[in-house]
Amino acid sequence: MSALPASASARHHHYYHHYYHRPTAGLTRADDQVDTGFGPTAAGVSAILIDARSGAVLSANGADIPRYPASLTKLMTLDLAFRALRAGQISLDTRIPVSYHASAVEPVKLGLTPGDTISVRSAILAMTTMSANDAATALGEYLGGGSEARCAELMTARAQALGMAQTHFANASGLPNATQVTTARDLALLARDIVLNYPEDQQFFEVVSFNFRGHTVYSNNNMLRSYPGATGMKTGYTDLARHNLVTSAVRDGRVLIGVELHEPSWGDTYAQMTHLLNAGFEGRLAANGSVLTPAIGQPAAAPQLAQAAPLPAPPPGLPTGTQMAGAQMAEATPALALPPPPPPSPAHYAARRAEPRLAADHAGHWVAQIGLYSRLAKARTEAFAMHRLSGAGVVRIARVEHHGRTLWGAQLADLSFDAAHSTCSVVNARGGACRVVSVGEDHVAMLSDSPDGT
């Protein structure tokens, strides 16, 4: 197993948060962001808190002011990737070729090199943990059929389909571009779409570290460590975007989503998010009557794609990613059409569960099947309650279509054999019907015979 370049290893610690500073002072380009004092750089912060299930807006402050999204952009890149996974267009083991363009983007990054490949799984984890720009760009190019610009068009089309009326994307990573703008309200819509429609992929946002080629990559999201019930999402920073955070959290079965944009420091960002979530969970905020566009069942508006645009040319003498990746890059050239994801089936989840999910060095190969529930909130409550009690494993929520009904499976995964049995012993002692299965088995099918009906 190859190791990361020494420079990439150092970046894991130096860029603890997603900092980006334009390296060429005094030079401007047409797409450079400029501090004008209004629009995206207007003084003050933008924030919103919503109830994920109902879409009710509990609090909003400057939620419709255009802002630069920084690395929160990656949420939309991930949304497209989750849709492609659901549609069977890619798998977590699909190898993504790395072009010169992807390898040359500004930090934070893994240190990928032209001609290298990375799995979809590792690219997603690198984005949700350290916010790697090279991984995001490579994934974006793959989703766009070899063109990051084409991926940005898909991202903008998806934003429009979700009702994100003030959002436009220009790249897959969130690196500065004057045309890449969004609002706190629009980002809440995007986060809600991911939370409600892709619960099987929520685990990626909850990972605090993973192993990449022998090196441990850590999450830069302090909410995962500091806020009980936090289920992750995304951080982002550039000089003009300032400090930005999207957080989802669950308490007593209720899921809230908060967005904080243009904060002056990380300390302020985390403090304000903590205050906002606490106020929402404690009932100190009443819904203001505004409801976000429902996220469940939103159709994709991805247009039919033309031939993918060519990748940016490298400096003279350096071969392109296409030349170095050879036939593998050629196979990735047709852009993914990304149709509306089909309703997930037990067979889909059987295939997904059979894939190793979180890291190359799994902590365990056993799953505790806690139960199957008719309400997502109930499944999450049971899974997180058992996770807090056992202190082991990774929470997974699986969406299952069962005899025309949508059910939600609560699981603790990545357990050792003993830990899985201990977990199920506790559940069963309380009257539950927990089962222990290996990662190679059809977990969802085994659960599907005994929904609780709640």
Other CB atoms within a 10 A radius of the CB of residue 4 amount to: 18
> Tokens standing for 381?
């409550």
Q: Distance between CA 410 and CA 413 in Å, rounded? A: 10
Whether 99 sits among the annotated catalytic residues: the reply is no
From the list 74, 103, 109, 248, the catalytic residue is 74
- What string of DSSP letters covers 17-46? S-----SSTT---TT-----SSGGG-SS-E
Whether 131 sits among the annotated catalytic residues: the reply is yes
180 in Cβ contact with 149 (< 8 Å):
no
> Tokens standing for 46?
């933008």
From the list 46, 99, 103, 131, the catalytic residue is 131
Q: CB within 8 A of 390, min separation 6: which ones?
A: 412, 419, 422, 423, 426
Q: Distance between CA 96 and CA 116 in Å, rounded? A: 8
From the list 46, 59, 71, 147, the catalytic residue is 71
- Ramachandran bin of 138, using left for φ above 0, alpha for ψ from -120 to 50, beta for the remaining angles: alpha
Whether 71 sits among the annotated catalytic residues: the reply is yes
353 in Cβ contact with 442 (< 8 Å):
yes
- What string of DSSP letters covers 88-154? TS--TTPEEEPPHHHHTSPSS-----TT-EEEHHHHHHHHHTT--HHHHHHHHHHHTTS-HHHHHHH
Q: Distance between CA 165 and CA 173 in Å, rounded? A: 20
State the chain's maximal CA–CA distance in angstroms: 69
Among 217, 246, 213, residue whose Cα is nearest residue 78: 246
What order do you get walking across the sheet with 57-61 strand by strand? 57-61, 46-51, 254-263, 242-251, 230-238
Give the residue ranges of DSSP H helices in 162-283. 184-197, 203-206, 223-226, 266-281
Tokens 């992807």, located at residue = 102
Residues assigned a catalytic role? 71, 74, 131
